[in-house]
Amino acid sequence: HGDVPLAFYTQPSKAKYAANAFGDTADIMAFYEKEIGVPYPWDKYDQVTCADYHWGGMENTTITTLTQRTIHADEIENVRSSRSLNAHELAHQWFGDYVTCKDWSHLWLNEGFATYYALLHQRHQFGQDAFNYELYLDARDDIGLMHKDLRPIVYREYKDPGEQFDFRAYPKGSWVLHMLRNLVGEDQYRQAVKNYLTRHALSDVETDDLREAFEEVSGRPLDKFFDQWVYHGGVPELKVTYKWLANDKMAHVTVEQTHETGNGVLLFELETKLRFIVDGKPIDEPFKIDGKRHDFYVKLPAEPEIVRFDPDYTLLKRTDFSKSDKMLRAQLENEDDGIGRVLACDALAKRKTKANVAALRKALNDDSFYGVRLAAAEALRRIGSDEAVNALVESTDQPDARVRHRVIEQLGACYRDEARETLLETVEEEKNPAIAAAAVKGLGLYQGKDVSAAMRKALSADSHGDEAAAAAFLAIRELNDASFADDLMKAIKSRDQEMSPQDITEGLITLAKISQRGRRRDVAFDFLTGYLSYPRQVLRGGAVRALGELHDPAGRPVLEPIAADERDEYLAGLAKAALEMLDKETRLAPAEVGELRREVRDLRKSQDKLQKAIDELKGKRTAADDATPAKAKQADKD
């Protein structure tokens, strides 16, 4: 890129696919230089993949080390991409290397920036909808799932630096920057970041350095913003209600902050807007929230078809906004609002009606944005009715591999005969290894000779990354069938040189879990202890973990010396955990698992028959009522 030489190093066996991981590097660097306003600050940039690297990547100055799992074959299509990891680590050359957080309490100044700038490049390359969708996933899956963790981003009471490398530094830090960008505007945001970097180049920084840079450029005090978002914990939990006042032609919207407040979590001050779609046209009403509850009254020309809170997606929050099914379906059809359509899918998943299933099915097959199609597939699985499962079964022919993969994943969570048949067909016919692997994993819920055949085929399948075999390791664990033990040992032994050590570890653990009884336990014990002297540390750790899962008392004298060896803290920690596992109860035997699952399926069939009978009775009652003369009906009422 320009005068900066770029170099990429990977294992010879993976070199043919290197472009899939590194091909965007020059574009990312060019975008960052323009967006940040500071040229790439070093004289070269190299990237190196490592076979046994534990994490995603490490931003050493001028040379990033990456997991080899970031190398994807062409056949994977767009199911997985290295773009985000590439962009994240490259952003660290500015945020983390050129300026570095003063101590671990300010880690978000490294990781929050790297996370957010990877998303900004996503917007640069794929547009606003893709950008908002990634913000949504971060808010829902990473921050939302940890909503009970009320530690602030800047947290000085950690006992180990590793405690800081969590959702607070990465996605929440990214969201803070996103809100700051929307608060001061994009131009002032860029200028403040440029000033922050140039002023503190090649030195360390803390959060107040960033705040001061933004206050100088924007001319507004930001102590409240940083206090509530960075120095205090939690996110705002908002209950939003809407009512149409027909006589006054006025919308009444109430916003209430419902989260518990105290020394650790404050009432938030928030600026956003309401958007009303009236006769297809948007009407925006900006407002500010600075108290427990606010009532807003907005005069409108007519009743809106759609009401949106924070339509531009500028606030991190957990929102409870109950709308009618009709309004949600209208929101799902609004082509101008990608994130609104995603949110509509999420809300409709809780409304199990045939009309909503039909709307979600249409979105899954026809929506212009892949994120909406992904959300629609997930919503149909959550509804789980016969109509919803059939919609998934009949929507597997997707041109976008990401959506095809998601449909198969969701079918893998539907314990239905129709889903089972589709998964088996996918294993046989699908050319994309990632999608075929998703089908294999989903079959872990089922018994049968055809399922067993699919597992054995997957264990011997040859593809880049061994995705099918890795999926079979997990599926066989769910099946809990000891008859696969020999097949597992053969697959592990034949692949332990080239397969990801993390995947081999899963295979070792599966072997242990299905071999906890009888003679097979002795065979598995000998196999696992053979890996304790293996050259690759990750596999030695996998063997240690598996010995704990095997529940064989013979493992104790083997594990105790490893646990006591302070020279290798990694293995010692795993061995201590494995020793604790030896005393835990074993799982149900395969026959017991199969019987329970058959009972569940029979119960569901009986329930379906009962529901049909009830529907028939209701139909007969309605027909009888319709046939009753009007006078007789009135007499009954009298």
Query: What proportion of the chain, given as a percentage, has pLDDT over 70?
Result: 92
The helix/strand/coil state of 291 is coil
Global pTM reads 0.89
Per residue, what are the HEC states of 459-499?
HHCCCHHHHHHHHHHHHHHHHCCHHHHHHHHHHHHHHCCCC
pLDDT (0 to 100) of residue 585: 58
Task: Dig out the tokens for 514 from the structure.
Answer: 């299905």
Tokens of 229: 């978002």
Partners of 273 in beta bridges: 286
pLDDT at 591 > cutoff 60: no
pLDDT bucket at 637, cuts 50 / 70 / 90: very low
Q: What is the pLDDT, as a whole number, of residue 269? A: 97
Region 287-303 average pLDDT: 97
Mean pLDDT of 378-400: 97
Contact 484, 454 (CB under 8 A): no
Beta carbons of 39 and 56 less than 8 angstroms apart: no
Q: Rounded to whole angstroms, how far apart are CA atoms 489 and 203?
A: 52
Q: Residue range 360-384: average pLDDT?
A: 98
CB 1 within 8 A of CB 26: yes
Confidence of residue 408 (pLDDT cuts 50, 70, 90): very high
Percentage of the chain with pLDDT > 90? 83
pLDDT of residue 608: 62
Q: What is the pLDDT of residue 583?
A: 77
**Ramachandran angles phi, psi of 66, nearest 5°:** -135, 155
pLDDT bracket for residue 463 (50, 70, 90): confident
Mean of all residue pLDDT scores within the chain: 92
| Cα→Cα distances 508→434, 471, 478, 479, 590, Å | 21, 13, 14, 15, 18
Q: Which residues contact 566 (CB under 8 A, 6 or more apart)?
A: 572
**What is the pLDDT confidence band of residue 62, given thresholds at 50, 70 and 90?**
very high
Task: Give the confidence band of 39 by pLDDT, cuts at 50, 70, 90.
Answer: very high
Asked if residue 615 has pLDDT above 90, the reply is no
Tokens of 459: 């264990």
Q: Which of 304, 286, 305, 282 is nearest to 294 (CA)?
A: 286
- Give the contacts of 84 (CB within 8 A, at least 6 positions apart): 118, 122
Top pLDDT among 498 and 341 is at: 341
* Mean pLDDT in residue range 561-588: 86
Tell me how far apart the alpha carbons of residues 230 and 237 are, in angstroms, rounded to a whole number.
Answer: 17
Which pLDDT band holds residue 638 (cuts at 50, 70, 90)? very low
- Kind of pairing between the strands at 45-50 and 63-67: parallel
What pLDDT is stored for residue 625 in this prediction?
57
pLDDT score, position 584: 76
Please list, in sequence order, all residues whose beta carbon lies within 8 angstroms of the beta carbon of residue 91, skipping any fewer than 6 positions away: 32, 113, 114, 117, 118
pLDDT tier at 630, thresholds 50, 70, 90: very low
> What is residue 599's predicted lDDT score, i.e. its pLDDT?
63
Name the more confident of 19 and 441: 441
Query: Vertex 497, ends 506 and 56: CA angle to 5°?
Result: 60
Query: Is the predicted pLDDT of residue 635 greater than 50, yes or no?
Result: no
Weakest mean pLDDT among 70-84, 182-196, 209-223: 70-84
Residue 150, exposed/middle/buried by CB under 10 A (0-12, 13-18, 19+)?
middle
Copy the structure tokens of residue 38: 């500071």
pLDDT at 168 over 90: yes
Average pLDDT over residues 477-489: 96
CA distance 399 to 420: 22
Residue 140: which residues within 8 A CB-CB, separation 6 or more? none
Model pLDDT for residues 219-267, shown as the tens digit of each residue:
999 999 999 999 999 999 999 999 999 999 999 999 999 999 999 999 9
What is the model's pLDDT at position 593?
56
Helices (H), 565-589: 569-581
* Residue 11 confidence (pLDDT): 87
What does the pLDDT look like over 522-553, one tens digit per residue?
A: 999 999 999 999 988 889 999 999 999 999 99
Q: For residue 602, what pLDDT is reported?
A: 62
Looking at residues 317-333, what average pLDDT do you find? 97
Could you give the C-alpha distances from 602 to 415, 595, 598, 606, in angstroms and in order? 12, 10, 6, 6
- Give pLDDT tens digits for 65-120: 998 889 989 999 999 999 999 999 999 999 999 999 999 999 999 999 999 999 99
Residue 290: which residues within 8 A CB-CB, separation 6 or more?
Answer: 267, 269, 270
**If we measure between CA atoms, which residue out of 71, 72, 48, 44 comes closest to residue 58?**
48
24 or 598, which is more confident? 24
User: 231: helix, coil or strand?
Assistant: helix
Q: Residues 30-52: what's their mean pLDDT?
A: 95
Q: What are phi and psi of 7, to 5 degrees?
A: -135, 150
What value does the mean pLDDT take over residues 605-617?
Answer: 66
pLDDT bucket at 631, cuts 50 / 70 / 90: very low
Q: What is the mean pLDDT of residues 603-621?
A: 65
How many other CB atoms are found less than 10 A from the CB of residue 181?
19
pLDDT of residue 403: 98
What is the mean pLDDT of the segment spanning 161-175? Answer: 96
